[in-house]
Amino acid sequence: MIILKSRPMLVACAILGITPAFAQSSLDIMLPKQIYGRVQVLDGSTIEFLEPKQPVRIAGYLAPRLEQNANTDGVEWPAGQVARAWLILRTLKRDVNCAPVTRDTNGTLLAHCFVEETNLAATAIADGIGYAFNYPGEPQVPAYFDIERRARGLGFGIWSDPKLPPPWNYKPAAPTKPATPSPTQEPGIPGLPLPPPSPGSNDTTPRG
């Protein structure tokens, strides 16, 4: 359901300390004022509303890529999958309330998203689930970067692995080529069963 009232947008802007009068590109002309309802989680920072079918990236925030792994004190853990699971648990059977602010270069909506009074981006950053991040042309939320500094100082989540590359610098490893299967060879180990004669063969030589 798309709600066209402007008050929720103004409330979200007041909470985040940003001004709603930012420059709009041609992609922003048809921005809805609010999107509200149940969602499915596509990755650690992207949701899709079920009705209407609308993908939304959480503004001011970026989670590790789904395939990214972190290593904390020798223990490897799936940082990207953890971020996705975190978002699933936060939104499962809950209504999500999003205030769109712009679109990214692919036309995907960027929005500040809440479950009741909980700011999803701020909470994820505080828990060390992902990063404060702005796409080009997206209004910056300085408070997110302050929250990130605290999480980094405490070594929460992604900050427990100093070598984990942020998703905008992450380069997937080249896929390894499958091993070439060795040609089939006649069994050469004594005692193994041998195939029976082909149908119609006159070979009566005992086998084994």
Q: In terms of residue numbers, what domain contains 87? A: 2-16+31-160
> Residue 184 falls within a domain, yes or no?
no
**Is residue 166 included in any domain, yes or no?**
no
- Is 194 among the domain residues? no
DSSP symbol at 14: H
Q: pTM above 0.95?
A: no
- pLDDT (tens digit, 9 = 90+) per residue, 126-169? 999 999 999 888 889 999 999 999 999 999 999 999 999 999 99
Q: Does a structural domain hold residue 193?
A: no
- Determine phi and psi for 74, rounding to 5 degrees: 85, 0
Confidence at residue 21, expressed as pLDDT on a 0 to 100 scale = 41
Q: In this predicted model, what pLDDT tens digit does every residue of 53-96 receive, in sequence order?
A: 999 999 999 999 999 999 999 999 999 999 999 999 999 999 99
The Cα 113–Cα 57 span in angstroms is 9
H-state helical runs in the chain: 7-16, 79-91, 120-126, 142-154
The structural domain count of the chain equals: 1
